[in-house]
């Protein structure tokens, strides 16, 4: 039998290939594979279910990721998926695989972060599993949430002329990783040298302890805005914009000059001789919310420091990036793929 390398498909190609043979038969299954969370009819509301796995050496490096921060992050990335469905997270289950190099105190530190995040997001830890591992630490968290049936938002609802909007700013998590990797390399080449992390607090926190944008979901509700499509920015802005376009059958114009980038990201990117825009487009792990709204909602968003209009959807058009000089470029997803690139962080949808 001919062997097909998974690297030929990539992460999203593999997911699509697997999904082709999965059929749902329950009437209660409203949405299966293909969005930030599964949607199940639970009577008066929809139940949301999502899961993420973090693997040592692939998604995190314990040489610079504190276990408490890691536990917090593992919860936050799952809650972020619930937010991307316009929902509220309610419970989580936690499963871990640990090798014998981890002490009880290490496990306690990990769970201290998990419990801190659970408290911060108002979710209950209701179960899970603990197994031995021969390949380091593995964390798998499943988050449950709920959303009113008329409030659920999918990736597939964007319409022609809808505005493309993002919360917060982008590229900080990627630049935080660059600083951590640089200091790790310096330490390995010169043991005993203390890491130079001064002035990088913001980007380091965005990488090591990101926050799910629960507040953004609340603010949209307060503004009277119902997004037509939404996704969280885990694999890079470009990748997520393409997801919304593809699943909504739309093209788009994404304006480079509108992409929100914190000044510390610009400065740090310059130190690394990197283009801040490329960092924002392809870096990933920002966990901001990217969504579309009808153009009539512009006045509701105008002036908000929490949201930025970065483009618009266009039926029958290409997916394009409009550069600062006005030139048009095909929008391509170059964010990290678990099966294609072995040197950058990755986060599942």
In whole angstroms, give the CA distance from residue 334 to residue 53: 22
Residues 133 and 233 grouped into a single domain:
no
The mean pLDDT of 123-150, rounded to a whole number, is 96
> Is 154 contained in some domain?
no
Residues 67 and 111 grouped into a single domain:
yes
Residues 293 and 258 grouped into a single domain:
yes
Residues 100 and 244 grouped into a single domain:
no
Beta bridge partners of 329: 321
Instruction: Give yes or no for a contact between 262 and 169, defined as CB atoms under 8 angstroms apart.
Output: yes
> Is 338 contained in some domain?
no
Q: How many domains does the chain have?
A: 2
Residue 50: pLDDT band (50, 70, 90) is very high
> Is 204 contained in some domain?
yes
> Is 56 contained in some domain?
yes
The mean pLDDT of 122-135, rounded to a whole number, is 95
In whole angstroms, give the CA distance from residue 147 to residue 151: 6
Rg of the chain taking only CA atoms, in angstroms: 20
Model confidence, pTM: 0.91
Residues 33 and 110 grouped into a single domain:
yes
The mean pLDDT of 154-169, rounded to a whole number, is 98
- Domain boundary among the residues 125, 148, 171 is at 148
CATH number at residue 291: 3.90.650.10
Residues 191 and 313 grouped into a single domain:
yes
Residues 143 and 184 grouped into a single domain:
no
> Is 339 contained in some domain?
no
Residues 96 and 178 grouped into a single domain:
no
CATH number at residue 103: 3.30.1330.10
Residue 346 has pLDDT above 50, yes or no: no
Of residues 207 and 12, more confidently modeled: 207
What pLDDT is attached to residue 347? 41
pLDDT of 317-344, one tens digit each? 999 999 999 999 999 987 545 445 444 4
Domain that holds residue 210: 163-330
> Is 153 contained in some domain?
no
């Amino acid at each position: 039998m001919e062997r097909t390398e998974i690297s030929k498909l990539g992460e999203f190609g593999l997911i699509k290939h697997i999904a082709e043979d999965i059929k749902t038969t329950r009437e209660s299954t409203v949405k299966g594979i293909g969005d930030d969370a599964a949607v199940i009819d639970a009577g008066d509301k929809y139940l949301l279910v999502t899961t993420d796995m973090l693997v040592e050496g692939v998604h995190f490096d314990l040489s610079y990721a504190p276990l408490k921060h890691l536990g917090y992050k593992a919860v936050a990335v799952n809650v972020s998926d619930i937010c991307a469905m316009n929902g509220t997270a309610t419970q989580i289950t936690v499963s871990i695989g640990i090798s014998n190099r981890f002490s009880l105190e290490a496990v306690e530190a990990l769970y201290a972060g998990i419990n801190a995040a659970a408290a911060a997001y108002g979710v209950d830890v209701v179960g899970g599993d603990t197994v031995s591992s021969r390949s380091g630490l593995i964390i798998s968290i499943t988050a449950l949430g709920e959303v009113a049936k008329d409030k659920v938002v999918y990736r597939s609802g964007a319409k022609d002329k809808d505005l493309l909007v993002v919360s917060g700013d982008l590229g900080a998590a990627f630049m935080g990783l660059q600083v951590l990797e640089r200091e790790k390399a310096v330490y390995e080449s010169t043991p005993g040298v203390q890491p130079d992390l001064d002035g990088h607090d913001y980007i380091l926190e965005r990488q090591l302890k990101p926050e799910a944008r629960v507040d953004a979901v609340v603010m949209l509700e307060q503004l009277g805005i119902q997004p037509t499509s939404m996704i969280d920015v885990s694999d890079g802005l470009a990748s997520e914009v393409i997801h919304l376009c593809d699943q909504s059958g739309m093209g788009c114009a994404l304006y480079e000059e509108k992409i929100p980038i914190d000044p510390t990201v610009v400065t740090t990117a310059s130190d690394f001789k990197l283009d801040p825009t490329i960092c924002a487009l392809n870096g990933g792990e920002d966990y901001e919310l990217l969504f579309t709204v009808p153009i009539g909602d512009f006045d509701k968003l105008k002036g908000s420091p929490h949201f930025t209009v970065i483009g618009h959807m266009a039926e029958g058009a290409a997916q394009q990036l409009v550069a600062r000089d006005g030139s048009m470029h095909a929008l391509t997803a170059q964010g990290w793929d678990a099966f294609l690139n072995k040197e950058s962080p990755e986060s599942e949808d």
